[in-house]
Amino acid sequence: MSGADFAGAEMETMLGWPEVRGVAEVMDMHGVLHGSERMQEIVRAGLNSGKLIEGHARGLSGADLQAYLAAGVTSDHELTSADDALEKLRAGLTIEIRGSHPYLLPDIVAALKTLPHLSSQITVCTDDVPPDMLLEKGGIIALLNLLIEHGLPAVDALRFATLNAAIRLQRHDPG
């Protein structure tokens, strides 16, 4: 289901289902930051479930980013620049590099290559990619090819999409 409007009670119910891995894309950043009752209920349901709370932290930095993390959000796929990616990574968020903004990839790859170690907190994702574009250009494989074209070692690109993603999604069962 996409674009639905849930409150805490619905989230508690769904988070009780074993196939639900967590709270997806907490988009109301300002509701989290300003303590709206609805967002407090949703985040609390996620925290109480022990499952993931996925973020949507477009434009957040500094104290606002820290407050968003302190609320319990642990990832972001809304990277706006290489500096944004590094700030979020250094703050402790899992960053999810997405293929729907290919113009950012050269700078993000260059920034990642300045790090002494590529963290397990770097993954990849697709986001807002229409099915016809997925069919024509591909999904994660196309993104990995772009990352490699921009200079990311293939072993790191593959690790972002496989091991790091499995760790992030708490998937300890795949062999």
pLDDT > 90? residue 61: yes
pLDDT at 172: 82
Percent of the chain whose pLDDT exceeds 90: 79
Q: Which of 107, 139, 110, 108 is nearest to 125 (CA)?
A: 139
Give the residue-averaged pLDDT of 75-103.
94
**pLDDT tens string 111-140:** 999 999 998 999 999 887 788 888 888 889
* E strand or H helix at 52: strand 52-55
Q: Are 57 and 76 in contact (CB under 8 A)?
A: yes
- Phi, psi for 111 (deg, rounded to 5): -65, -45
At 175 the pLDDT is: 57
Q: How confident is the model at residue 99 (pLDDT cuts 50, 70, 90)?
A: confident
Average pLDDT, the chain: 92
Tens of pLDDT along 62-71? 999 999 999 9
Rounded to whole angstroms, how far apart are CA atoms 44 and 39? 8
Work out the pLDDT band at 1, boundaries 50, 70, 90. Answer: very low
> 90 is written with which tokens?
């250094």
8 pLDDT more than 70 = yes
- At the topology level, CATH places domain 74-175 in TIM Barrel (3.20.20)
* pTM, to two decimals: 0.89
In the chain, what's the furthest Cα-to-Cα distance? 46
Asked whether the predicted pLDDT for residue 96 surpasses 60, the reply is yes
Q: Where are the domains of the chain?
A: 1-69, 74-175
Burial (0-12, 13-18, 19+ Cβ within 10 Å), 117:
exposed
